[in-house]
Amino acid sequence: MLGKLADSLALTPKKGKLPFFRDPKLDMFVELTESQRTDLFNHFRKCEYTFRKDNGNVNECTENNVHSSFSINTR
């Protein structure tokens, strides 16, 4: 799933459309700037790598890394 999201964010002529949304009003990617899309693309690729590097064996370190990647720091 992360790979498909990253592919959708790639800077291509498709402009980051999410192909699996039936309702175009729900496609939030069209509102992102090029810089925001690039940041999200890099983030999804990093998360995808984190999942794959342990070959599916999620340990505490991997779990913490992924959790912190998707958490919002409110400080």
- Residue 5: per-residue pLDDT: 67
- Residue 29: per-residue pLDDT: 73
Rounded to whole angstroms, the maximal C-alpha distance in the chain is: 39
DSSP 8: H
From first to last of the 75 residues of the chain, give the pLDDT tens digit.
667 766 666 665 555 555 555 666 776 777 778 888 788 878 878 877 777 776 666 677 767 766 776 666 655
CB 62 within 8 A of CB 51: yes
The DSSP line for 11-49 is: SSTTTT--TT-SSGGG-GGGG--HHHHHHHHHHHHHHHH
List the chain domain ranges: 2-69
Q: Which residues contact 3 (CB under 8 A, 6 or more apart)?
A: 44, 48
